[in-house]
Chains A and B, each alone.
Chain A
Amino acid sequence: MTALPLLHVSDLTVEFQTRNGTVTAVSSVDLTVAKGETVGIVGESGSGKSVTSYAVMRILDRAGRIADGTVTFSGIELHNADDEVMREIRGREISMIFQNPRAALNPIRRVGEQIEDVLRQHAQATSRNAREKAIDLLRLVRINDPEARYLAFPFELSGGMCQRIIIAIALACRPRLLIADEPTTGLDVTTQKAVMDLVVELTRAREMSTVLITHDLGLAAQYCDRIVVMEKGRVVETAPARRIFRAPEHPYTQRLMSATPRPGITLRDLLPNRPEAAAPPPKWQRSPDATEKPILSVVDLVKEYPRAGAKARGAESAGAFRAVDGISFDILPGESVGLVGESGCGKSTTSAMVMRLLDPTSGTIRFEDRDIGAIPAKNFARDPARSRLQMVFQDSTDSLNPRFTAFRAIADPLYRIGGVTREAQARAQVERLADQVVLPHDLLDRFPHQLSGGQKARVGIARAIALEPALLVLDEPTAALDVSVQAIVLNLLADLKAELGMSYLFVSHDLNVVRLLCDRVIVMQAGRIVEQASAEEIMTSPRDAYTRELLAAVPRPPV
């Protein structure tokens, strides 16, 4: 380490005033970033990793304050600098890029103007050459047709493009330190790779230092020189990226490491202090009787949407947009099938049609030997097949009624379809379901906001299996969860499948997760199936070029 680090955070403590008194979000954190170094801060939600960076930038919200410690940036004390000084530092010396790029841009201002605002604020451009410089920056972050994109509003751009704009804003004044706060969360893997590669290339070329804040150990390990692991507001371990994967020292780092899905492991390997006694979930075997009937059979499924403004724009672009373009696949009883692809590939539309929430334009969906695709979506709730087909949603918070207790949420399908009318009867069944998903009974009377993310996910799963469905559609059920919670939920899902003999249609963008849970994987691109094969085959010898591209984009820890 050099004698004088660019950024030196020492003994930093940040407190928030809340209704329930003072909460310490970050306590006694030490952190140094040398010139040209890339440091990763890794931790799960609530670890204080974002708060640390906000404290460095002094953009904590009103309730938060630096209670103790010092932040020094190339000799300047930031923790007690006044607003004038900070305004000069922000954007010019230290800049930041954020999660959720679309929301991080002013929705009603042209992106070019937003870049200009920063240039002019820090006197990097005059009114005469600001536009030119902004367009140069757009070109720098590889935006095609920068002159036209200068005039675009954020809603007209994709998430990846919005993140490039944010990067352009962050790099506009040639700062010396870039703080990237979960810059690729919510972006597709290929976009993630493109964005990260761009950040690395640009910061290296300018000899900048970078702090990468992420929950993804793999991502941090791939792009960072040094990794700082945080837990509950404290730094638990700091080590070079290579060493942290080979020999994690702190128990928390070890847990985090083992819970990260990666090639060459099984589901059970994700769990901390893996119970040796617990047998691995029985591997699903295709029954020797090759004529076994699939439980779900989708043939030539198509979903078309009329193009927005097709009428107004005239004939040349008229016609419909095919979100799902004639796909066919089967799911056998007890089989778990992964549906993988990037956003916009049609995987969610497909799952919504299978769930009969959307009406297909054409094609058939045979479920337990009935063509349920022909039943209009609005009548399907009354169909007997409805109880055999259930769904677990991506956002476990938003998919629970905030006014229902966990008990009421799980009992809902029992009351509505299951024919249960008496509360005592429902109570018995719900408690049995809670046992199945390992949810303590005393949590059943809590409301969603009183439950943790993992507990809410369990409630969602218990609700879905309440009617003992034959097929469960899982739409990215672990995408919003921390890796340690994800590990437990994935194992739970595997056990439930074996116990109840269900089939899964598992929709996800994370190939590592899909491989762990699924027997077979279907890869979709632009509404079509480009490849379907067993999970192992897809991971080890992908045949399609697009599958290979997806696999290559998955961050790989340097082991």
Chain B
Amino acid sequence: MASATKLRILGQRSLQALPALVGIIIVTFVLTRALPGDPAVYFAGPAADARSIAEIRKQLGLDRTLIEQFGIYLRQLAQGDLGQSISTGQPVIKELVNRLPASIELTLVALLLSALVAIPLGILAATRPDTWVDHLCRFVTTAGVSLPTFFTGILLVYVFYYLLGWAPAPMGRLNVMYLSPPHVTGFFTIDALLAGDLETLRATLAQLILPATTLGLFTLAPLARMTRGSMLQVLGSDFVRTARAAGLSGRKVLFTYAFRNALLPVITTLGMVFSFTLGANVLVEKVFAWPGIGSYAIEALVVSDYAAVQGFVLAMAILFVALNLVIDVAYTLVDPRVGIEG
């Protein structure tokens, strides 16, 4: 019965996301229209006269009323057509399919690295407060957030590419010497594995490591601080005292009793950090010439490329909804109380 309740809760959560999506579609449509700048003027070029501007405006469908434009937009959306980017001339959906996995892959690897360091560091700091581990944790996390990502990025490139020559040139997802693995998921690492091409996998990882480290350093702080804080709280709780009084081994108390309980706020933070990083890693993408979604969106925004901006915001919105669902699933897996109180 408990699992059925949980499934129902998850179903409800996903349904609750629908109104949010509808709202996002409307708001992004209106907002992009309200942006300053006229794309028709921009694309007609500096030499254009009023007639050619009007012609381009008609071509783009911008001469119709907002309601009509919205209707067209919805109809296209229903067919999976996000329109064409006016700056690149490519269908937006195609660009997103290429660029979104690049960003997600980078962010996921960065978070994985970050969590692998931050969570053990947080646990160690919590079990030994005011010792050198704790101070180290504080120092590393403070340094991580204090340094801007473009600076750490350039520093890493300087040291590991220019000075030491360990890392490949920071030129996108794959060295030009390699062919992209056959497109299955869009994640080069997974695609290379699926194709059984270990050489490409190695090259992909080599490209990934520096930008992922850059991002990871930045996300270290919230994760480590949250792990430390929530571990400290749980370690002081009554049930940990019971476990210790029952003579359970330190490992059992720390992981089965304390850590699993401390994990809940960490999961929430992880989700928040992920969504924040995905949208905010433009600087890292620029430094490493990463063909991600952040740089795409910025470029589109600068030239009032309606279709591209709308497509970007919509893709992000869907991603966030999916992410929240994943967090909810993780929560229900860890915490049996969710089914009752949720």
Contacts and interface: CB of A to CB of B under 8 A. Distances in A.
Interface in B306-340: 334-337, 340
A118 B248 contact: yes
Interface stretch (A87-95, A231-239, A296-304, A481-489): A87-95
Given A103-B237, A108-B335, A108-B336, A87 B242 contact: no
Contacts of A96: 242, 245
Contacts of A100: 238
Interface string B236-251: 1111011111111110
A166 to B, nearest CB: 7
Contacts of A169: 242, 246
Nearest to B129: A62
B6 to A, nearest CB: 12
Interface string B243-284: 111111110100011001100000000000000000000000
Interface in A75-103: 83, 86-92, 95-96, 98, 100, 103
B257 A106 contact: yes
B247 A91 contact: yes
Contact of B340 (A61, A90, A155): A155
Interface string B1-43: 0000100100000000000000000000000000000000000
Interface in A96-117: 96, 98, 100, 103-109, 117
Contacts of B238: 98, 100, 103-104
A98 B252 contact: no
A105 B246 contact: no
Contacts of B242: 96, 98, 104-106, 166, 169
Contact of B246 (A107, A121, A308, A312): A121
A59 B337 contact: no
Contacts of A57: 245
B339 to A, nearest CB: 10
Given A117-B256, A121-B252, A105 B247 contact: no
Given A107-B239, A108-B260, A90 B246 contact: yes
Given A95-B246, A107-B239, A122-B247, A312 B5 contact: yes
A153 B337 contact: yes
B251 to A, nearest CB: 11
A23 to B, nearest CB: 18
A170 interface: yes
Nearest to B8: A312
A95 B245 contact: yes
A103 B241 CA distance: 10
A538 to B, nearest CB: 36
Most A Cβ at <10 Å: residue of B8, B243, B244: B243
Contacts of A109: 256-257, 260
Contact of B239 (A61, A104, A312): A104
A314 to B, nearest CB: 12
A95 B241 CA distance: 12
Contacts of A121: 246-249, 252
Contacts of B334: 108
A118 B337 contact: no
A10 to B, nearest CB: 22
Contacts of A107: 239, 261, 337
A90 B253 CA distance: 13
B8 to A, nearest CB: 7
Most A Cβ at <10 Å: residue of B129, B239, B244: B239
Nearest to A119: B246
B244 A90 contact: yes
B248 A117 contact: yes
A90 B244 CA distance: 8
Contacts of B237: 103
Interface in A34-81: 57, 59, 61-62
Interface string A161-175: 000001001100000
Nearest to A121: B248
A95 B245 CA distance: 6
A155 B341 CA distance: 11
A108 B246 contact: no
A482 to B, nearest CB: 21
A49 to B, nearest CB: 16
Contact of A105 (B239, B336, B340): B239
B265 to A, nearest CB: 13
A100 B241 CA distance: 12
Given A100-B238, A312-B8, A108 B245 contact: no
Given A122-B247, A312-B8, A98 B241 contact: yes
B245 A89 contact: no
Contacts of A309: 5
A91 B249 CA distance: 11
Nearest to B335: A108
A312 B12 CA distance: 13
A376 to B, nearest CB: 27
A105 B237 CA distance: 10
B134 to A, nearest CB: 12
B247 A108 contact: no
Contacts of B261: 106-108
B246 A170 contact: yes
A220 to B, nearest CB: 21
Most A Cβ at <10 Å: residue of B236, B237, B248, B340: B248
Given A98-B238, A106-B239, A312-B8, A59 B336 contact: no
B61 to A, nearest CB: 48
Contact of B241 (A59, A118, A308, A312): A59
The 3 closest A-B pairs by CB, nearest first: A91-B247, A90-B247, A91-B246
21 contacts: A91-B245, A91-B247, A100-B238, A103-B237, A103-B238, A104-B239, A106-B256, A106-B261, A107-B261, A108-B260, A108-B335, A108-B336, A109-B257, A109-B260, A117-B248, A118-B246, A121-B246, A153-B337, A169-B242, A170-B246, A308-B340
Given A100-B238, A108-B335, 12 more contacts: A59-B241, A59-B245, A62-B129, A89-B247, A90-B245, A98-B245, A104-B241, A105-B242, A106-B242, A108-B260, A117-B252, A309-B5
